[in-house]
Chains A and B, each alone.
Chain A
Amino acid sequence: MAASAQTRYYHGSSASGSPGSDVTGLTVRHKQFDTDTQDTVGPIALPVSGINFGWRKSSKVNWTTSPAGSITNLRWFLGTNPPTGVYFGAWLNATYTVGQVGDQNGITGFTDTVPNQNTNNATNYTSSAPLTVNAGTVLSNPSTGEGTQSFVITQLGIQSSYTGGPGPISSFQVTYRYSET
């Protein structure tokens, strides 16, 4: 395949030690636990008021084969919105931090206050106004791998206004977009 890409989600204590798992074609479950598996471990409880957060997730695109030319202008956006009452935050970080219990209180500078939650609300990022991960060259022939890009960090929260009942929320779509020559 030409420039085959994976979407990798990172887990464990070290990004270099646990280089992420390919989630292409899979649904990634946000929870209060450091896995993507669609199981009942670490559910995010519906709060009486306010918002309950899951643990952060970190993702990157990984190219397992080289492009004929180069990969540029890597972007990220929501293809469909989360259900009503579900908050979804997204931002960039150059370094990796494992998802952890402390994330449940909101992540300092990103989701710990309402203004920060609004700033980093993933619904701000649409196909016509995406989150720019790298506007320049990410990867060039003959290289493979992740090239030059930051982690896209996401965190899901359940608000007291959520009315969907217990169990998994309806899935929604996130998309990486890039130019390839």
Chain B
Amino acid sequence: MNPWYSTDVAARLLNATDGGRLMFVWEAELNDGSVMRQFEDHTFEILRTNPNAAVPIDSSLRISTRDIPRDKVVLFRILPIALTQELAPWFSQSFEQKVDPIKEDLLAYFLIDKFVVGGPVGIPELARQVLGTLDRATGKKWIKVISPSGATKETEVEDQSYEGE
């Protein structure tokens, strides 16, 4: 594991963001010019600007990426919340994924490691952000996996070692 995970700063960030799930908020641009967001606009903006704002971790208060209309999304973006920018300053920029809705499906999910024996550094689980595309015709995937430590990995195969990341 990356030694950053054993720091108090990492523990604070992971605890405050449900294991890293909510270090970012997402928005999707659709082909009609509209924008769909994970949270309603007021909450979205507060999370982006106020590091003291509590992240709503109740899943009933946020929209799943599964609800994004796959045949309409042209651009997907994850943006670090203010707390992430403060505690993990390597995340100052957003990550974007362009999608051709005619031939591609958006891939956007959390990759969760659930540790037995308390985890390598005492954390019970770790969430990584995954975004990418699936070619409908070929079934070929391309994903970018973003670890809370700041490490990123671009791959076509989901099963990877994230040792040190």
Residue A28 is within 8 A (CB to CB) of chain B in the complex: yes
Residue B87 is within 8 A (CB to CB) of chain A in the complex: no
In the assembled complex, the Cα of A68 lies from the Cα of B68 at a distance in Å of 13
Residue A47 is within 8 A (CB to CB) of chain B in the complex: no
Q: Which of chain A's residues have a CB closer than 8 A to the CB of B127?
A: 180
Q: Which of A2, A75, A176 contacts B18 (CB 8 A)?
A: A2
Residue B58 is within 8 A (CB to CB) of chain A in the complex: yes
Q: Tell me if B124 and A127 are in contact (CB < 8 A).
A: no
> Which chain B residues numbered 24 to 63 have a C-beta less than 8 Å away from chain A?
57-60, 62-63
| Residue count of chain B within 8 Å CB distance of chain A | 37
Q: Tell me if A3 and B59 are in contact (CB < 8 A).
A: yes
Are A79 and B115 CB-contacts (below 8 A) given A69-B64, A130-B159, A141-B64?
A: yes
Q: Which of B57, B124, B159 contacts A129 (CB 8 A)?
A: B159
> Which chain A residues numbered 29 to 71 have a C-beta less than 8 Å away from chain B?
59, 61, 65-70
> Which chain A residues numbered 162 to 181 have a C-beta less than 8 Å away from chain B?
171-181
In the assembled complex, the Cα of A73 lies from the Cα of B109 at a distance in Å of 11
In the assembled complex, the Cα of A55 lies from the Cα of B67 at a distance in Å of 45
State the main secondary structure of chain A at its contact with B: loop
Residue A27 is within 8 A (CB to CB) of chain B in the complex: yes
Q: Tell me if B59 and A67 are in contact (CB < 8 A).
A: yes
Chain A, residues 70-102, CB within 8 Å of chain B (1/0): the string is: 101101000110000000000000000000000
Are A27 and B117 CB-contacts (below 8 A) given A67-B59, A73-B158?
A: yes
Residue B146 is within 8 A (CB to CB) of chain A in the complex: no
Q: Tell me if A177 and B114 are in contact (CB < 8 A).
A: yes
Q: Tell me if A128 and B108 are in contact (CB < 8 A).
A: no
B110 to chain A, nearest CB (A): 4
Q: Which of A1, A172, A174, A175 contacts B57 (CB 8 A)?
A: A1
Q: Which of chain A's residues have a CB closer than 8 A to the CB of B64?
A: 67-70, 141, 181
In the assembled complex, the Cα of A178 lies from the Cα of B19 at a distance in Å of 14
Q: Tell me if B109 and A2 are in contact (CB < 8 A).
A: no
In the assembled complex, the Cα of A27 lies from the Cα of B81 at a distance in Å of 34
Q: Tell me if A177 and B113 are in contact (CB < 8 A).
A: yes
Q: Tell me if B112 and A179 are in contact (CB < 8 A).
A: yes
Q: Which of chain A's residues have a CB closer than 8 A to the CB of B162?
A: 127
In the assembled complex, the Cα of A61 lies from the Cα of B113 at a distance in Å of 12
Q: Which of chain A's residues have a CB closer than 8 A to the CB of B109?
A: 69, 72, 179-181
Q: Which of A141, A172, A179 contacts B110 (CB 8 A)?
A: A179
A27 to chain B, nearest CB (A): 5
Q: Which of chain B's residues have a CB closer than 8 A to the CB of A141?
A: 59, 64
Residue A107 is within 8 A (CB to CB) of chain B in the complex: no
Are A181 and B110 CB-contacts (below 8 A) given A2-B58, A127-B160?
A: yes
Q: Tell me if B117 and A173 are in contact (CB < 8 A).
A: yes
In the assembled complex, the Cα of A3 lies from the Cα of B112 at a distance in Å of 11
Residue A18 is within 8 A (CB to CB) of chain B in the complex: no
A29 to chain B, nearest CB (A): 10
Residue B8 is within 8 A (CB to CB) of chain A in the complex: no
Q: Tell me if A177 and B160 are in contact (CB < 8 A).
A: no
In the assembled complex, the Cα of A128 lies from the Cα of B67 at a distance in Å of 29
6 cross-chain CB contacts under 8 A? A3-B59, A26-B118, A68-B62, A126-B161, A127-B160, A176-B116
